[in-house]
Structure 1
Amino acid sequence: MGSSNCFRWAVVILCCSSLTHGHLEREHSPMILPSENPLILHKDGLLHLTCRGHGPLQWKLVDSNRSLSSEEVKVESCDSRHHSHSHCSKLTITSLVANDTGRYNCEYSKNGSAHFTSIYVYVQDPEQPFVDPHPLRPIILESYRHETSLILPCRTTYPDIEVTLTGQLVALPEKVVKEQIWDPKVGFKIPYDPYREISMVFCKTKVNGRDFESKYFPMRITHALQNVKITPERVKLLVGDTLILNCTGKTTHNGRIKFTWDFPKSKENRHETQWTMDRSTKVYVMSRSLFLPNITMEDKGVYHCRAEINPTIYMNVTAKVIVIEHPYLNISYKHERHSTIRVKEGRKKLVFDPKVQALPPPDMAAWFKDGVPINRSSTCYKMSGFTLIIVNVQQQNAGVFTVSLGNQARGLHRNLSFTLIVEVKPIISEAELATVDVQPYMIGRQHQLTCTAYGVPLPNTTWFWQPCQLNTTLIKSPVHTDDRGNYSHNWIKSINVKRELVKGKIKVCV
């Protein structure tokens, strides 16, 4: 018995607590007059609302296209004496139009808590039964693949008007017809199968025998967002130049990337942007270019681009912009390479690649060999940018190579020279021409032997003597001028070395 009584008391206490909480909420909430909700008015009429509350009051025009600062909108304080509420505010809107249909909020904050009350207003207009009509061009309704319902926002200026939903050319899916929900304050809410497409749909109604319609085009959009970047990522400009940066990103079918630029002095609105899209492949490339003319030193810094599919799916990228006050042109050797380069003959490829630092870039570039210009159509040399390439290096490629760079508009010119030495493997000319291995000479007479050799650098030549008796081990031994003839050696009177020009080449003759 006692337990049963305790249960009854608990139920009574809980019920009383709930009722008390609800009563306190109503006590703290602002009060709007007139109390009729929804409130039905007419086009060109007057909206007059009074709100009373326990704190400084604010009005919000939730659905209306007007703002509180509009000419036809007036907000003023009113007398709060002789009322339980300490604050009072009046909202007046003149010359009402159909688009004023919507929800109006009155709110205040106190002790960290927000309290508000709302009223819905219909502004009836027989010429515009839909609040936001789209009779000619359909509005695109975007939704993601995971969303299973869709709102068609064809809310009306009449609370009890009859509106029907139809498809274009083909009937709506049976599920949509059966499960659609109509609310004049919202429009139609329909089920939307993630993998079923719906073509254009129409909200239709009739007022005073006249037909009205509003068109909508449902479209699935994607979450895909990839490869967001700014090109170039690092750029140098002179004062007065025009900065061009391109922010790009990749998405898929029905993807829409929103690009937002942020950079130094962006609030001055000196810049222009241009949006582009490439649909030539399954992956869509979208971009927004930034154009900033007449760059100043204050425009240097980090430039930010935000690429956004929706507020929760986005990527941020940056680029660094460097602004230089005066033009310059510097040219030097790369990797501390000296001006003299030695390579062996037959090397497959040799590249002269000077280090060039210039702003603006040179508009003149020429290469010279021993003071003679190298033709760009030459088969021996190839030019690419500021570099010179020699393929299959030969001895005749040796010489002094000079690159000359300049910028005519800025009056800048610089030269840099490379000395190429091609090392050639030593060869003996007589060895190439000899037809027999043994040549006879008269005993006791003086004979002169000649050895002509060539190479780069010039080779050192050494004579060797080798006995040719039968049944002996053949041993080569160096020959010197102080040797005297004996049983095994001939007397070497002298060994002379001289350089001669033979067939256009400096050769060593011994």
Structure 2
Amino acid sequence: MNLILICLLCGMYGALAKDKKGKYSVPILDVKSRQLVLDTNQTLLLSCRGRWELTWAFPSGLAKDEVRVQESRCGSNSHQYCSGLTVSSTQFQHTGLFRCRYRHRTQKQTSVYVYVTDSQQPFVDHPGMSPDVLYMKQKTPLVIPCRVTHPNFTTTLIKFPNRSLSPDHRSIVWNSKQGFTIRAPTLYYVGFFHCETINEGVTHKSRKYFVHRPVSNIMEVYLNSSAVQALKGERLVLNCTAIGELNTRVNFTWDYPGKSNNTGSTFKRLLKHRTHMLFYSILTIPKLQRSDRGLYTCRVTSGRNAKQQKVNVTVYDRPFIRLKPRHGSVMEVQAGQKSYRISPKLRAFPAPEVIWLKDGMLAAEQCSRYHMDGSSLVIRDVAEEDAGKYAVLVLIQEHGLYQNLTLTLVVNVSPQIGEKAVSLQDSGSVPRGSRQAHHCTSHGVPPPHIQWLWHPCPSKGLPAAPRA
């Protein structure tokens, strides 16, 4: 008995599985053609049968109250679902795709395209409709949807003001159910378009379409400073500049310490160049406080793209000068060195004026080998005469601040013997017991120590050891 029951269940499951994978895996329409051509004011009747509950999707130009749907159970033992759709008086705007699909499995569907022909209105989107905006994406085909109400209408694409574009079946393709497809659109296709067709000697126009290419390519973002130092009470102005591709639009967002207190205000500006767009956002804080110090971030977004720049703002309570030696007040350098930099530790705000003196006179006027690099004094080709007293004077005149520092430079000179510069001649033989005087002149910094060495005459061809 159990075996018979199992066989019956297996048979029922096999029948259900066959039904699901067979005739009713998708709903079935009662029309064999993939398209229908009707005249206006005709009645459209469509019937659909399927395994599960059914629903309809129809063109947007057909209002719900213009459609009547009747549902019923049908088939042997009422195992199927049937649905009938009726449109009593068809109009040209009803042209489009009618789809019958399962209510809970909408991907399972069957469709038929219906043309409702009107000789006075060949386009589904008529010229009285407001312009439609079409967005063009890079490397994506562009469809200009000037669909027609009969499959045999011949149509031309017109670019404003009066440029005709005919389908070539390669770059521009015409389809009466879709319109014109530009397979690889470029910037040329940005602008206004409409379609035209001639029927019985009369030219008819479609709705206008505006093709816009949204661009979100942010090329660079700059801030007008990499670091900012300011005094309390001063005005802060930060300029954030973004460079984008043509047709790019960007949004600016500022993050800074005083944002929650609304201490700053922003101003935006746009400039268009031949090859790119420039966007400016200017953040202004009229009167800086100590609480305004910190990190300022300018963030630029366009679509999913984003770039940002940051700047650190330091706010001082008052102007100041801090000056001290870097490695003590006495410095040493070797004569002949290619260059030497005298560089004390200096911090000051606002930026001070720096003057260098050597032995009480302007250093740069004493020697062409002296030049300033920032707050440092650089000496090229160091010589003995460069030794002396160097003084640096730091001034902030508008605030009446100054500070000076005196440093001593010692120039070491390698010892030299003056007689080496003169060719020595053999003094010849001298009488035994006579008195001879020899001179050695030397110079160096610090002063050199002189030591005399005696080399006695060789004995029997052997060199003698020197004696002091």
State how far apart, in whole Å, the 2-side matches of 1:459 and 1:241 are: 60
Secondary structure of the 2:163 match is: coil
Q: Check conservation: 2:330, 2:410, Cα contact below 8 A.
A: yes
Distance 2:209 2:380 in 1: 69
Give the superposition deviation at 1:224. 4.0
1:91-130 → structure 2 map (5 Å cutoff): none
Specify which of 329, 332, 343 is matched with residue 342 of structure 1: 332
2:398 match: secondary structure = coil
* Contact 2:320/2:349 (8 A) holds in 1: yes
Specify the alignment match of 1:356 in structure 2.
346
1:388-399 map, 5 Å: 388-399=377-388
Match runs of 1:34-49 below 5 Å: none
Distance 1:234 1:409 in 2: 23
Distance change >3 Å, CA 408–CA 444, structure 1 → 2: same
Find the counterpart in structure 2 of residue 178 from structure 1. 174
Aligned Cα RMSD in Å?
4.5
Residue number in structure 1 paired with 2:34: none
Counterpart amino acid of residue 385 in structure 2? Q
Aligned with 1:375 (options 350, 364, 373): 364
Query: Following TM superposition, by how much is the alpha carbon of 1:394 offset from its aligned partner in structure 2, in angstroms?
Result: 0.9
User: Distance in 1 between the 2:445 and 2:270 partners?
Assistant: 61
* 1:226 to 1:388, Cα distance in 2 relative to 1, 3 A: same
Given the alignment, which residue of 192, 196, 201 partners 1:201?
192
Could you list the per-position Cα deviations for residues 206-247 of structure 1 after superposition, in whole angstroms to 9, with x for gaps in the alignment?
Answer: xxxxx99978463463x5445545453432221122323343
* Letter of the structure 2 residue corresponding to residue 318 of structure 1: K
**In 2 relative to 1, CA 273–401 (structure 1 residues): closer, same or farther, beyond 3 Å?**
farther
Equivalent residue, structure 1, for 2:251: 258
Are 2:225 and 1:232 aligned? yes
Does residue 323 of structure 2 align to residue 331 of structure 1?
yes
Alignment correspondent of 1:271? 265
Question: Which position in structure 2 is the counterpart of 1:507?
Answer: none
What is the TM-score normalised by the length of structure 1? 0.55
Name whichever of 401-410 and 230-239 sits farther off: 230-239
C-alpha distance 450-260 of structure 1, shift in aligned 2 (>3 A): same
Q: What are the superposed Cα offsets for residues 279-326 of structure 1, whole Å, 9 maximum, x if unpaired?
A: 68x78775544333322223223222222221x221344332222222
Task: Answer yes or no: is the 8 Å Cα contact 2:364–2:371 preserved in 1.
Answer: no
Match of 2:212 in 1: 218
Could you give the per-residue CA deviations for residues 88-115 of structure 1, whole angstroms, max 9, x where no partner exists? xxxxxxxxxxxxxxxxxxxxxxxxxxxx
Within the candidate set 286, 292, 295, 2:285 is matched to 292
Give deviations 1:335-382, integer Å, cap 9, x for gaps. xx22222221111111122332122111x1111111111237952112
Match in the other structure for 1:305: 298
Structure 1 counterpart of 2:254, one-letter code: W
Once the two structures are superposed, the pairs formed by residues 438-457 of structure 1 within 5 Å of their partners are 438=427, 441-457=430-446
Matches of 2:282 and 2:465, distance apart in 1? 80
**TM-aligned CA deviation for residue 252 of structure 1:** 4.6
**SS of equivalent to 1:409:** helix
Q: Does structure 2 retain, via aligned residues, the 8 Å contact 1:167–1:199?
A: no
Deviation of residue 170 (structure 1)?
1.7
Q: In structure 2, the residue corresponding to 1:347 is in which secondary structure?
A: coil
Post-superposition shift, 1:471? 5.0
- Aligned twin of 2:376: 387
Distance between the aligned counterparts of 1:232 and 1:263, measured in 2?
15
Greater CA deviation, 314-323 or 301-310? 314-323
Taking structure 1 as reference, are residues 179 and 377 closer, same or farther at Cα in structure 2, changes over 3 Å only?
A: farther
Q: What CA distance in whole angstroms lies between the structure 2 residues aligned with 1:471 and 1:276?
A: 102
Match of 2:36 in 1: none
Give the aligned residue type for 2:293: K
Q: Secondary structure at the match of 2:164?
A: coil
Question: In the superposition, relative to structure 1, how do residues 421 and 200 fare at CA in structure 2: closer, same or farther (>3 Å)?
Answer: same
1:399-410 matched pairs, under 5 angstroms: 399-410=388-399
For 2:346, the aligned partner's letter is V
> Aligned partners of 1:283 and 1:459: how far apart in 2?
72
Q: Is the 8 A contact 1:244 1:289 kept in 2?
A: yes
Residue 318 of structure 2 aligns to a residue whose secondary structure is coil
Provide the aligned length of Structure 1 versus Structure 2: 343
The yes-or-no answer on 1:465 pairing with 2:458 is no
Distance in 1 of aligned mates of 2:247 and 2:421 = 77
Kept in 1: contact 2:268–2:279 (CA 8 A): no
Shift of 1:395: 0.8
In structure 2, what residue type is equivalent to 1:418?
A: L
TM-fit CA distance, 1:453: 0.6
- Distance change (3 Å), C-alpha of 1:331 and 1:152: farther
Secondary structure of the 2:174 match is helix
Give the SS at the match of 2:382: coil
Kindly tell me: are residues 18 and 417 of structure 1, through their superposed partners in 2, closer, same or farther at Cα, counting changes over 3 Å?
Answer: farther
Hey, what does 1:145 align to over in structure 2?
138
Contact 1:272 1:292 in 2 (8 A): no
The answer (yes or no) to whether the contact 2:159–2:194 under 8 Å persists in 1 is: no
**Partner residue of 1:70?**
none
**Where does residue 306 of structure 2 map in the other structure?**
314
Following superposition, the deviation at residue 36 of structure 1 comes to 7.1
- Is this contact kept in 2: 1:330–1:357, CA < 8 A? yes
Determine the C-alpha separation between the residues in 1 that align with 2:411 and 2:313: 44
What amino acid maps onto 1:178 in structure 2? Answer: W
Q: Counterparts of 2:423 and 2:130 in 1: how far apart (Å)?
A: 109
Structure 1 residue 148: deviation in Å? 2.8
2:136 and 2:211 in contact (8 A); partners too: no
Partners of 1:410 and 1:228 lie apart in 2 by 36
% identity of equivalent residues: 24
Q: Secondary structure at the match of 2:437?
A: coil
Asked whether the 8 Å contact 1:306–1:315 carries over to 2, the reply is yes
d(CA) in 2 for partners of 1:306, 1:130 = 40
Aligned to 1:55: none
Match of 1:166 in 2: 158
